[in-house]
Structure 1
Amino acid sequence: MQQYIIQIDFVDCPGLGYEIFKVTDKNNINKIAMEVIPKHGMVIQFQCAGEEQVHSLVADLRKIENITAVEFRTQMPYQEKEIELRTILNSVSEGVLAIDKDGIISHINEFACKLLHCRLDKAIGVKVEALVGEDSPVLATLQSGNEYRLKEWTVKRKGRALQFLSSSVPVKNDQEQIIGAVSTIQDFQQIEKVILRADKLQRLTFADIVQQSQPMAQLIAAARAVARHSSTILLRGESGTGKELFATAIHEASARCRKPFIPINCAALTETLLESELFGYEEGAFTGAAKGGKKGLFEQANGGTLFLDEIGDVSPRLQVRLLRVLQDGTVRRVGGTKAVAVDVRVIAATHRNLEQMIQSGEFREDLYYRLNVIPLTILPLRERKEDIPLLAQHLIRKICNRINKAEVYLAKESVELLVAQKWPGNVRQLENTLERLINLIDSTEIRPEHLWAWTDITDNVAAKTIGNISRKPQTLQVEIPLTGEWPRLKDIVASVEKEVITRVLKKYPSSRLAGQVLGVSNTTILNKIHEYKI
């Protein structure tokens, strides 16, 4: 007996199915499976003695009214759908696992089999707990109906503890009854690779440091030279000078550039959180600790660079632990007893006076000498003013691209104003000031009046002369008509006020400065300008 599959296309009408089955019975075929194609036809899988019997069946079917075509197929529609689904599942770059209402594995892709160290043919049809344990997220979803997103999960396979992040959702029928669950599985190494790849795309190099001053050129040359080795670096400088930018550029110029670069702000976390982040922890080390424990940043940065920003804010207790890592090259997780060797280059940064902190007992002297192997000091903007014009236009271009706005430009007078400022917040303050302006103005050119109106910037040169303004008597002429009624006192005062403000604005062309000269607020001057149409 041979097997065949035929597809019968027809125009649906009452009794057509009965006619088809009469013909199949007449030709003595053994029907194995049948599948209906909605509004189109049906597919029949059957057995018969040979080709002569098949051709007789097809000829009889084609004689039936309303049958439009009878064709041979190689597979049933459900088989084609299954192949299509399997191809889709295997094209996904993460594990996919599906179970039915009884917890039996109905689908699993090749990536999941690889992660769980199992064979596809051995996984389909078995209880899910036999493969992934009784506390897996997919089983929890089947039982509770709850969704889980990126839940940490550990499973033991062949004597090994495997760590994953899993997301799972329930499968429901039209009556909202749970009939199964689907889970996606990602291992930690896979996630780390994705993060590192994304981080690599965002990293900046020395070429991205915008400067034209001699001090910055010398600093970059020194940083390039020390980047080639693995000695510890301490970056010094005020807040907003670009310490993390330098740390990233140093890592990119080093032999460790293909390994992780992990930054952490030591001032942003509490002592206990910072400790667990840096050194990791063992399972059961504290309430809420993840099963299987967790790697710390020193372990995650193995072979690469760990950037410890705001190192001056680390507590004395953690300073001792950091000193141990720098001396021995080993870390011990919180709650653990085993020392793990790590190969990590440390770049630390601070805006604080560590020498003064040593004198006051706030910072360990021995840790200071371990960190201060290669000190690099980044100058504040006020000490490298020649960088400001180039840096400002670079920041404007970056901001305009980010907010999808046409690039604007600085007028010459505006550049002079920016250079004259002290910028206590350095590059960060300059960038924030420019972003505020770009959002508020419609002009393609940033002019001095924009800076005066929308920022805290002042004309320092003019401001210095305000205190020395001439106190000689000023003569004002008020015209009063010789005939007719006298003007009201209110109008005379307004006329004098308009004349005074007009004269002051000619010398100090800023509402802020004019207000300082006349002893009133910036808002008052702006209101008077509008009122008198100056």
Structure 2
Amino acid sequence: MQEYVIQIDFIDYPGLGYEIFKRTEQNNIDKIAMEVLPKHGMVIKFRCGVDSQVEKLMEDLTSVVGVNSLKFCAQMPYEEREHELRTILNSVSEGILAIDKEGKITHVNEVACKIFYCSPRELIGLGAEELLTSNSPILDTLESGKTYKLREQKVKIAERTIHYLMSSVAVKNDQGKIIGAVSTIKDFHQVENIISRVGNMHRLTTFDDIVYQSQKMNQLIASARTVAKSSSTILLRGESGTGKELFATAIHADGPRYKAPFIAINCTALADTLLESELFGYDEGAFTGALRGGKRGLFEQANGGTLFLDEIGEITHRLQVKLLRVLQEGVIRRVGGNKEIPIDVRIIAATHRNLEDLLEKGEFRRDLYYRLNVIPLTIAPLRERKEDIPLLVQRLIRKICEKLDKPEVRLSKESLDLFMTQEWPGNVRQLENTLERLLNLTNATEITSEHVLTWTDLRDVTSQLTYKIEGNNILQFELPSDGQCRPLKDIVAEVEKEVIKKVLKKYPSSRLAGQALGVSNTTILNKMKIHKIMHYPRR
């Protein structure tokens, strides 16, 4: 059955509509929709099976007295208006969401769909309270008529926390009665980026910006939130790329000094003498090329706030002595000066090195170590919290796509499985760099495992698995004194169970475990059921 739309222009008189519809009935036309035009016309949408049936209808309608002309149209007028409305809504940079008097979503644009990670089909007809919080401005606007401007909101959808600003106004009919409401929605991160560009400002990361779902990160952030409230010195420890500066900024932003400066310096970035002058400043004439009037150092600039000393394990003994004095007495002395300047700075230091080994080698002062190690916080490497990888991948892809001005893409399940099996010696920094390389070299909307293996140095799990059965003591057992062994099938079953458990521990996916062992994922799932292995891998 094919659909047709025809426009009928006529001179109106009583009974004309009846005559037109009588012709459609006589020709067995299946009418879908009808719309009356303002100036003596109507448009009918119908379906029928054969062209001859349409031709007969056109002849019959032409014979009706008062019908001036007939013509085929591409779509109904209301469909054209809907298309125009969608085009207008999708042309703006903000999300737009409209609801009717029952609180059901009637209109939504592409930007709003992107913000809430939903499709129009999922949102249209959905109750607004099912998508948003119960105290959402748009719902209060529908009830009270009150207008809201840029109200900050957060809502959790699946595993994502959506952070946005919402403005809302009531939609009223000619009698002033509220018949709906419409909201504009701004993605909070987009707003921050705009503020940063326009105002040349740098917004510090907060704990809410750190994505995770592992228990290790949950415990660490809980501890960090607690110690953020004080001014005690913190020592952040962890491998390179784990996000030590991220935690330092979050601790500052969550503490009582959040309105004061946060200044960071990498102690390996400058030579010893330059680092000293950067930290402590210098007086006029301290050295050749010194600025007239001298220069304030980072300790002075950070007064009242926080100074983050990254890679503290790399500083020389001479600077260790000067730093120790600052921590003990709360005063500094500029290079070339003799005046003591009191400072009130919280120190957050970080290192990827083993300071205890440096103490034993005499490369780091014990008294400084104890001054810095007041509150130690250790960030686990990515390989020890792989359950965080899916959320990190989502956040990083979004960040990189915005940076590259590319449409947001996604990883296929197989690609994510590959990411989950890697050791990531460079931690989150390596993960981000790998994703940026992929997004630069591929234009696909979905990154497949083939893309990953072609454009990165990540390896397929099938080439990584090695079997060390004897080394894992799977086959070692003692022969009973009476010489009676257990049945062979029981021994084989135990070996099979241990192998599957070890493989699942390394590759937490029935598909990957099956790939590594050369069987299907269904076989792995069946074996798990038989051996009662309490592990629920991703398929």
TM-score normalised to the size of structure 1? 0.50
Q: Secondary structure at the match of 2:300?
A: helix
Q: Secondary structure at the match of 2:380?
A: coil
Aligned to 2:443: 442
Aligned to 2:213: 212
**1:432 CA displacement:** 0.4
Aligned to 1:44: none
Aligned to 2:338: 337
1:415-465 deviations in whole A, cap 9, x for unaligned?
110010000000000000000001111211111101110000111244326
1:197-220 deviations in whole A, cap 9, x for unaligned?
968642110000010101001100
Q: Distance in 1 between matches of 2:357 and 2:331?
A: 29
1:281 corresponds to 2:303: no
Task: Output the amino acid matched with 1:259.
Answer: A
Q: How does 1:210-359 map to 2 (within 5 A)?
A: 210-359=211-360
Please list every run of 5 or more consecutive structure 2 residues that lacks an aligned counterpart in the other structure. 1-194, 470-511, 516-539
1:347-388 deviations in whole A, cap 9, x for unaligned?
000000000001001000000000000000000000000000
**1:466 CA displacement:** 11
1:123-151 deviations in whole A, cap 9, x for unaligned?
xxxxxxxxxxxxxxxxxxxxxxxxxxxxx
Aligned to 2:507: none
The structure whose Rg is larger is 1
Q: Secondary structure at the match of 2:464?
A: helix
**1:286 CA displacement:** 0.5
Q: How does 1:44-63 map to 2 (within 5 A)?
A: none
Q: Secondary structure at the match of 2:465?
A: helix
Q: How does 1:100-119 map to 2 (within 5 A)?
A: none
Q: Distance in 1 between matches of 2:320 and 2:210?
A: 31
Q: CA RMSD in A?
A: 2.6
Q: Distance in 1 between matches of 2:450 and 2:336?
A: 61
Q: Secondary structure at the match of 1:464?
A: coil
1:43-92 deviations in whole A, cap 9, x for unaligned?
xxxxxxxxxxxxxxxxxxxxxxxxxxxxxxxxxxxxxxxxxxxxxxxxxx
Q: Distance in 2 between matches of 1:198 and 1:218?
A: 36
1:366 corresponds to 2:335: no
Task: Output the amino acid matched with 1:302.
Answer: N
Q: Distance in 1 between matches of 2:330 and 2:266?
A: 21
Task: Output the amino acid matched with 2:257.
Answer: R
1:423 corresponds to 2:424: yes
Q: Distance in 2 between matches of 1:215 and 1:285?
A: 49
Q: Secondary structure at the match of 1:346?
A: strand
Q: Distance in 2 between matches of 1:213 and 1:198?
A: 36
Aligned to 1:202: 203
Aligned to 1:401: 402
**1:393 CA displacement:** 1.3
Q: How does 1:507-518 map to 2 (within 5 A)?
A: none
Would the alpha carbon gap of residues 239 and 199 (structure 1) be closer, same or farther in structure 2, given more than 3 Å must change? farther
TM-score normalised to the size of structure 2? 0.50
1:217-250 deviations in whole A, cap 9, x for unaligned?
1100100000000000000000000000000000
Please list every run of 5 or more consecutive structure 1 residues that lacks an aligned counterpart in the other structure. 1-193, 469-506, 511-534
Task: Output the amino acid matched with 1:321.
Answer: K
Q: Distance in 2 between matches of 1:467 and 1:228?
A: 50
Q: How does 1:118-133 map to 2 (within 5 A)?
A: none
Task: Output the amino acid matched with 1:438.
Answer: L
